[in-house]
Amino acid sequence: MKIISYNVNGIRAAMNKGFLDWLQSVDPDVVCLQEIKAMKDQLELSLFEAAGYKHHYWFSAEKKGYSGVAILSKKKPDHVAFGTGIDYMDFEGRNIRADFNGVSVMSLYLPSGTNLARLDHKLQYMADFQDYVNDLKKDYPNLIILGDYNICHQAIDIHDPVRNKNVSGFLPVEREWIGNFMDSGFIDSFRHFNKDPHQYTWWSYRANARNNNKGWRLDYGMVSQPLEERLKRSVILSKAKHSDHCPILVELDPK
């Protein structure tokens, strides 16, 4: 089972940059998208189907051109859950989950904390999301939560940890939360295989940051511990350039 997660920073813009051709070349079974910035009726859905993803599920924000998540798959999922049932999360279209043969795959777009009000919102979201996941795991122990967490966990995950120590995305409270999230029963699948520095998934559009690899690792494939023995690989696909993020890939062995 090969799963891609990608914050596309606007699915229509990414498609104009060759996203679908790239997707066919990588050929994942399941695709988790974040920040689609579109309503379903604004998309030419036949293009996704022609690319091999006949099953596609969209959970847009109520605000047009903002946020939104999606899951595309080759095989029909056993079940799809739109949102969390927590209204302030669901208004912004930040969670969608699909179940495939005993494995539950979630696409997550966690808020950024760009100002004080949004930081408070983010911290509330993180606390409520942890409670939600704690309950979810009781019924779905084989859970993979992929997406843009908008947090760098360790100094190794950000190009300049000293100067960014007071910037949202690398605040002590955020780093503590994502560490506790892992401790609650999740494996950071990329770090499970790769301990090397300078491995990022997001770069600012400013100051030629991507070419200079001055980035942040904000995107994670969090895999619940019962799936550890099935983890085959987890990689960052940094050559894909349809967004200010790049995609990540997680692959599981079959049962």
3-class SS at 130?
helix
Q: How many CA atoms lie within 13 A of 166 on its CB side?
A: 1
Tell me if residue 78 is catalytic: no
Distances in Å between the Cα of 64 and the Cα atoms of 5, 16, 42, 58, 61 are 22, 19, 10, 13, 7
Q: Which residue has the tokens 């969608």?
A: 96
Q: Per DSSP, what are the bridge partners of residue 79?
A: 99
CA–CA separation, 137 and 133 (whole Å):
6
Q: Per DSSP, what are the bridge partners of residue 141?
A: none
Cβ atoms 129, 145 nearer than 8 A? no
Catalytic residue among 135, 139, 148, 219: 148
Q: Which residues are catalytic?
A: 148
